[in-house]
Amino acid sequence: MNLQELQSTAKALVAPGKGILAADESTSTIKRRFDTIKLESTEENRRAYRELLFTTIGIQDYISGVILYDETLRQSAKDGTPFPTLLARQGVISGIKVDKGTIDMPGFPGEKITEGLDGLRGRLVEYRNLGTRFAKWRAVITIGNGIPTSTCLEANAEALARYAVLCQELDIVPIVEPEVLMDGNHTLERCAAVTEDTLHIVFSYLKKHKVILEGMLLKPNMVVSGKDCLQQASVAEVAAATVRTLRRVVPAAVPGIVFLSGGQGPEEATEHLNAMNALGYHPWELSFSYGRALQEPVLEAWRGQADKVQAAQQSFFHRAKLNGAARDGNYSTQMEKKPV
Ligand code: 13P
């Protein structure tokens, strides 16, 4: 293990003004996204869409890395350039989703466990040879009546820790992603309590499994009100609750925290990140690793039409730039209207 390499990759991913694009939708997830624009999910449409994202001019000013899915990692641009090579030429680091998705956790109704540890060491060797320098594993925690249980939190934390240490063995930076879902009518306070418990358990398992904190990134949910909660917290309340929760449980040795958007709207996700960075000094970089919050407007502008590629790329550039500004607390909602 080369700690220096791990640290420099982790630092580059959370460089000032930059964050990560999560473009690692599995084949079934991207189908759901394409359904919203009535586009068939063929291998060529998936390839063309990712080419649109990765060839957006100037994106490297705001995007440090891209998380890919196995299929995308092996695909190429129209001119034959493999996607990881195309990204590397722009100074963008390639990452890879390595979990195999979630299943219902046996014995624990309503809860999920993530699969994908079997054979992971071999897959990581191949991914590293294909040019990836960081990875992602997502655990899903559901808030509900009597859940999450400690058994579910511990089982998911152990899987995250085992994945993370395997990555570090090969100098691949693990993004540790325990996502507490927004689904439900719970309050901000409940989300805060569950997120704190989850992260506390995750970090205790990372320690047990000897994960080097300096060579990883954390990808958590923000502390928000449940989607169906009648009393939705304000931007300022979300920012304060999220930072307070993270300060309690995330060691300062972790170089960066890259939030998922988790179903927040694009502007909402940018506003929340901005408000947190505007609060002042934090012991870690606070950045983004958004999927939907970066891509929703892009898909909407593109709709699978070749003559809309440029408009879609402008929309991607704009969203990335605004999130880049939110990294430093320099975003304002007026910037939404500014032409690119
Ligand atoms: P969202 O930002 O759409 O939640 O996706 C981020 C991600 O990578 C989830 O695993």
Say yes or no to pLDDT of 143 above 80. yes
3-state secondary structure of 144: strand
Q: Answer whether 264 contacts ligand 1 (Cβ < 6 A).
A: no
Phi, psi of 21 (to 5 degrees): -95, 120
3-state secondary structure of 217: strand
Q: Could you tell me the pLDDT band of residue 339, with boundaries at 50, 70 and 90?
A: low
Q: Could you tell me which residues are beta bridge partners of residue 63?
A: 19
Q: Name the fold adopted by 3-337.
A: TIM Barrel (3.20.20)
The ligand 1 atom at the shortest distance from the C-alpha of residue 67 is 8
Mean pLDDT along residues 20-31: 98
Say yes or no to pLDDT of 146 above 90. yes
Residue among 53, 224, 257, 260 to mutate when testing ligand 1 (max atoms within 8 A of CB): 260
Q: Answer whether 293 contacts ligand 1 (Cβ < 6 A).
A: yes
Q: Answer whether 220 contacts ligand 1 (Cβ < 6 A).
A: no
Digit-coded pLDDT (tens) for 252-265: 999 999 999 999 99
Residue among 63, 219, 290 to mutate when testing ligand 1 (max atoms within 8 A of CB): 290
pTM of the predicted model, to two decimals?
0.98
Q: Which residue has the higher pLDDT, 338 or 321?
A: 321
Please say whether the beta carbons of 318 and 310 come within 8 A.
no
Mean pLDDT along residues 189-204: 99
Q: Answer whether 221 contacts ligand 1 (Cβ < 6 A).
A: no
Helices within 55-113 (DSSP H only):
70-73, 83-89
Please say whether the beta carbons of 261 and 290 come within 8 A.
yes
Q: How far apart are CA 52 and CA 36, in angstroms?
A: 18
What is the rounded average pLDDT for all residues in the chain? 98
pLDDT of residue 337: 87
Q: Answer whether 219 contacts ligand 1 (Cβ < 6 A).
A: no
Active-site positions read 177, 219
